């Protein structure tokens, strides 16, 4: 948001800037954390979603540029994310393979591959995702522009309760939870644990790819190597914070988005000292949440029992 | 009796080998429709192998199985389910973090794409109303007591439409009161002609009080059986172990004077479990020198956590611990100085490092002291080996050499090695948690006599056991633990089994 936008609004400038920033920054958190939530519900951790995110951003931008359609870019990003997820799921299905180690390897692979293949995309401009404003009630152009959101974000907002419903009301959701809670019980019921986890990782990977496409196709809205600042990794922490509930993932994403917007928002009202410190807010938040939620004496009761990160 | 009885289940001349081990040799078993039949035998007698052959986990090498006079081939538990045969396993197969209703619906062969919970809940409630016992269907399984989980496992089989239900030691996790309740219900349902029941157990009482028929297995062979009314518990014991039951009560010196200063004092101890819920709720207990105090209780009432707190593996959230009159924090130094020793259950996992040698494992308590360590850092291999040879001789540990990894020893010899390590020096406090779990007769007798010897020498012994017989055989004083508290106390000679059972069940 522009500096004059916020200053001209007086006291309301700062909260408006934070809300506006939140709406732009939180969608990648939202998609990655929803994806990770599905994967972890099945009892597996995919730390490689940062790689999916960056690959999704690059491929989404490239396809959008080549075809002229931002939505085709989003689809391509989902497809590439699903492929990386399938690779993770397949590798972890081999005997004695650790999902954490595979995740870190795939994160490095995804990021490296995206930088290598995306070299040519730094210059051109691709079509962006359509957007509209929630500020139509206000006559002030600053409010209208701050409250602009895009359709993809709305899809994510709708997806969160849909996933929550599916976990409890569909066969797929129930089977996913059984696999995540007790592999033995799932096998006794005749389900193929590895196959369920593979699909959960593919689905999670695809959502992370979509989250990446948001970065390059909406906000900041271009492709460069500094596009993601670890959102994919932070989203994993966010799932723990949200205690494996998709709707709480949505709230947590908004909170993280708001924290990320704190630095720029303060800058926009003319508060410039400690700028880098406030930019570190999401990272500090990650750290605090990890310490708070992972203390040895209170492992969360909602945690899927099969998660290897906790064993 | 209704006309629609469950089918006759018959296994004829079953043979099953695993490599060189003959697990079953020419065993036949006939489950009459609407009867309650017990399979009796020691650990390793072949009971589980037999029912696993019936359920399709294993394929018998020879012999046949027929259901309702028709010979069948059962390749997997799914085949068995299709034939109306269901099994309740020793360990719960429920998903802890899901509700009772979710567990029931998921157990079905076909779960609908979208579950209409309103209809499902109505159907389950109707089903529950027709059953002799109820379980709250909206509650999460982790919030159920062990008895309720066991009932749910049985209900699940009935919900799935099983007419023949096989149960593997269903009462091992229950209080005596809960066990009687569940067994009486199973018997009544069988006599009403709703189901046939086959139950694995090693408790004679369950045969004489509840069963219609019994089959006794020993070392893979059928050694007897018939109508259970024809057998006395002594007959069954003789068949089962091949001789009369061994004498249980051991020689001991007179009871300690009650005025002696307690070796262990626990006052208002509180602690949390792994998910942060209170599991010890103000536990107070004293153990005097030369006394064995037995803590009885259904497992899961805080016994494990109590042992962990005393052993230094879990921190207490409140209360005081004193050993020999002084404040006690279970650090390595204090454990050594206060002469506290521990015999945990599953010693290979909880008290040994499986890949390290017998000699090294035998020295865990002392390796960092003279003469095993010189100049504070130089470990003397020869001193370790010398120590090990003496212990191996004194405790008759069967091991190829002191340098053999301890994981290669049999269970009984691992526990002997742990006994040797924990008991060969002077001990003021011994904590024994299910010390005989999973051991054979000879090893059990050895462990128990060593514990009594230590007591006679003036050691205070805290015995935590899920086996009431063990507590009756060893303890001077019995306390009952329920929901993280001690709720009842009695000297062993005046102990009343019913009273103890009532307190174990939480009815106090």
pLDDT at A171: 93
> What is the per-residue pLDDT across A23-54, written as a single tens digit (0 to 9) for each?
988 999 999 999 999 999 999 999 999 999 99
- B259 vs B343, which has greater pLDDT? B343
Q: Are β-strands B326-327 and B318-323 bridged in parallel, bridged antiparallel, or unpaired?
A: antiparallel
Residue of chain A whose Cα is closest to the Cα of B57 = A188
Cα(A274)–Cα(B363) distance, integer angstroms: 58
pLDDT at A196: 95
DSSP state of B86: E
Q: What percent of chain B has pLDDT over 90?
A: 44
Cα(B124)–Cα(B104) distance, integer angstroms: 8
DSSP H or E segment with residue B85: strand B85-88
B121 touches chain A (CB under 8 A): no
At A4, the pLDDT band (50, 70, 90 cuts) reads: very low
Name which of A66-75, A233-242, B388-397, B417-426 the model is least confident about. Answer: A233-242
Residue of chain A whose Cα is closest to the Cα of B273 = A297
> What is the per-residue pLDDT across B400-440, written as a single tens digit (0 to 9) for each?
889 999 988 877 889 899 999 998 888 999 999 988 876 76
Are A174 and B115 an interchain contact pair (Cβ–Cβ within 8 Å)? yes
Predicted-complex ipTM score = 0.83
Q: How confident is the model over A296-311, as a mean pLDDT?
A: 66
At B257, the pLDDT band (50, 70, 90 cuts) reads: low
> What is the per-residue pLDDT across B353-398, written as a single tens digit (0 to 9) for each?
989 999 999 999 988 888 888 887 888 888 999 999 999 999 888 8
Q: How confident is the model over B55-81, as a mean pLDDT?
A: 90
> What is the per-residue pLDDT across B471-493, written as a single tens digit (0 to 9) for each?
888 999 999 998 899 999 999 88
Burial class (CB in 10 A: 0-12, 13-18, 19+), B346: middle
**A196: Cα within 13 Å, side-chain hemisphere:** 25
Residues 133-162 of B with CB under 8 A from A: 142
Cα(A25)–Cα(A219) distance, integer angstroms: 7
CA distances in angstroms from B301 to A13, B225, B279, B322, listed in the order given: 57, 37, 7, 23
DSSP H or E segment with residue B419: helix B411-423
Give the residue ranges of DSSP H helices in B83-210: 100-107, 117-129, 146-159, 176-191, 204-210
Are the CB atoms for A100 and A47 separated by under 8 Å?
A: yes
Is 50 exceeded by the pLDDT of residue B176?
A: yes
Give the orientation angle of helix A193-217 with respect to helix A70-93, to 10 degrees.
150
Is 60 exceeded by the pLDDT of residue A278?
A: yes
pLDDT at A77: 96
Instruction: State the Rg of chain A over Cα.
Output: 20
DSSP H or E segment with residue B166: strand B164-168
Under DSSP, is residue B111 helix (H, G, I), strand (E, B) or coil? coil
Residue B491 CB contacts under 8 Å (≥ 6 apart), including other chains: B476, B477, B478
Domains belonging to chain B, first-starting first, are: 9-241 (3.40.50.300), 250-339+426-508 (3.40.50.300), 352-425 (no CATH)
Residues 311-330 of B with CB under 8 A from A: 315
Residues 124-153 of A with CB under 8 A from B: none
Domain spans, chain A: 28-250
Name which of A108-112, B149-153, B494-498 the model is least confident about. Answer: B494-498
Structure-block tokens of residue A205 = 């990977």
CA distances in angstroms from B334 to A64, B330, B423, listed in the order given: 69, 6, 17
Q: How far is B107 from chain A (nearest CA, A)?
A: 6
């Amino acid at each position: 948001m522009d500096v004059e936008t916020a200053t001209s609004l007086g006291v309301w400038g700062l909260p408006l800037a934070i809300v506006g920033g939140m709406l732009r920054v939180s969608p990648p958190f939202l998609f990655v954390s929803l994806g990770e939530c599905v994967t972890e519900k099945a009892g597996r951790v995919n730390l490689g979603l940062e790689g999916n995110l960056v690959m999704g951003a690059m491929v989404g931008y490239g396809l959008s540029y080549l075809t002229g359609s931002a939505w085709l870019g989003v689809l391509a990003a989902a497809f590439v994310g699903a492929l990386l997820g399938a690779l993770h799921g397949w590798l972890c299905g081999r005997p004695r393979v650790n999902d954490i180690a595979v995740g870190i390897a795939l994160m490095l692979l995804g990021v490296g591959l995206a930088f290598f293949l995306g070299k040519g995309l730094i210059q051109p401009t691709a079509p962006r995702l359509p957007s509209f404003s929630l500020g139509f009630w206000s006559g002030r152009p600053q409010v209208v522009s701050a409250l602009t959101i895009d359709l993809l974000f709305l899809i994510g907002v709708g997806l969160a309760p849909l996933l929550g419903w599916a976990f409890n009301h569909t066969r797929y959701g129930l089977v996913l939870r059984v696999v995540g809670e007790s592999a033995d019980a799932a096998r006794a019921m005749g389900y193929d644990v590895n196959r369920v986890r593979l699909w959960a990782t593919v689905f999670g990977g695809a959502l992370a790819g979509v989250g990446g496409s948001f970065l390059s196709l909406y906000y900041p809205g271009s492709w460069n190597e500094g596009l993601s600042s670890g959102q994919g990794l932070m989203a994993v922490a966010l799932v723990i914070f949200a205690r494996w509930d998709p709707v709480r993932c949505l709230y947590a994403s908004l909170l993280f988005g708001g924290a990320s917007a704190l630095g720029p928002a303060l800058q926009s009202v003319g508060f410039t000292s400690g700028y880098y410190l406030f930019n570190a807010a999401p990272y500090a938040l990650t750290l605090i949440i990890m310490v708070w939620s992972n203390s040895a004496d209170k492992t969360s009761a909602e945690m899927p029992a099969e998660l290897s990160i906790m064993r | 009796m209704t006309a629609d009885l469950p089918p006759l289940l018959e296994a004829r001349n079953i043979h099953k080998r695993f490599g060189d081990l003959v697990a079953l040799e020419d065993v036949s078993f006939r489950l009459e429709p609407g009867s309650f039949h017990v399979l009796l035998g020691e650990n390793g007698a072949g009971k589980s192998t037999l029912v696993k052959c019936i359920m399709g986990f294993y394929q018998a090498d020879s012999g046949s199985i027929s259901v309702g006079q028709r010979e069948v081939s059962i390749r997997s538990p799914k085949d068995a389910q299709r034939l109306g045969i269901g099994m309740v396993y020793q360990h719960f197969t429920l998903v802890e973090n899901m509700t009772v209703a979710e567990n029931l619906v998921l157990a079905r062969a076909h779960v609908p794409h979208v579950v209409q919970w309103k209809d499902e809940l109505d159907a389950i409630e109707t089903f529950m109303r027709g059953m002799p016992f109820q379980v709250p269907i909206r509650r999460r399984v982790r919030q159920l007591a062990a008895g309720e989980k066991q009932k749910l496992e049985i209900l699940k089989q009935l919900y799935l439409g099983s007419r023949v239900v096989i149960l593997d030691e269903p009462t091992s996790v229950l209080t005596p009161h809960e066990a009687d309740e569940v067994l009486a219900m199973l018997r009544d349902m069988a006599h009403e002609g709703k189901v046939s029941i086959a139950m694995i157990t090693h408790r004679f009482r369950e045969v004489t009080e509840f069963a219609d028929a019994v089959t006794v297995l020993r070392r893979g062979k059928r050694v007897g059986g018939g109508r259970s009314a024809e057998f006395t518990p002594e007959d069954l014991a003789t068949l089962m172990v091949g001789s009369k039951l061994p004498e249980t009560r051991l020689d001991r010196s007179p009871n300690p004077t009650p005025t002696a200063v307690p070796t262990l004092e626990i006052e208002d101890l509180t602690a949390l479990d792994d998910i942060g819920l209170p599991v010890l709720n103000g536990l107070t207990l004293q153990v005097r020198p030369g006394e064995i105090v037995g803590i009885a209780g259904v497992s899961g009432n805080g016994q494990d956590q109590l042992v962990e707190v005393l052993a230094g593996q879990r921190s207490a959230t409140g209360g005081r611990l004193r050993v020999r009159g002084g404040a006690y924090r279970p650090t390595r130094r204090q454990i050594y100085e206060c002469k506290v020793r521990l015999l945990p259950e599953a010693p290979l996992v909880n008290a040994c490092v499986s890949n390290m040698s017998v000699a090294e494992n035998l020295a865990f308590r002392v390796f960092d002291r003279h003469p095993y360590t010189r100049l504070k850092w130089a470990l003397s291999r020869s001193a370790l080996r010398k120590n090990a040879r003496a212990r191996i001789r004194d405790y008759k540990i069967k091991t190829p050499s002191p340098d053999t990894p301890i994981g290669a020893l049999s269970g009984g010899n691992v526990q002997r090695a742990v006994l040797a390590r924990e008991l060969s020096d002077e001990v003021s406090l011994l904590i024994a948690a299910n010390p005989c779990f999973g051991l054979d007769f000879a090893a059990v007798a050895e462990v128990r006599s060593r514990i009594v010897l230590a007591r006679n020498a003036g050691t205070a012994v805290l015995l935590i056991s899920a086996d009431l017989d063990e507590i009756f055989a060893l303890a001077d004083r019995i306390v009952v633990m329920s929901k993280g508290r001690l709720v009842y106390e009695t000297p062993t000679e005046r102990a009343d089994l019913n009273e103890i059972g009532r307190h174990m069940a939480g009815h106090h």
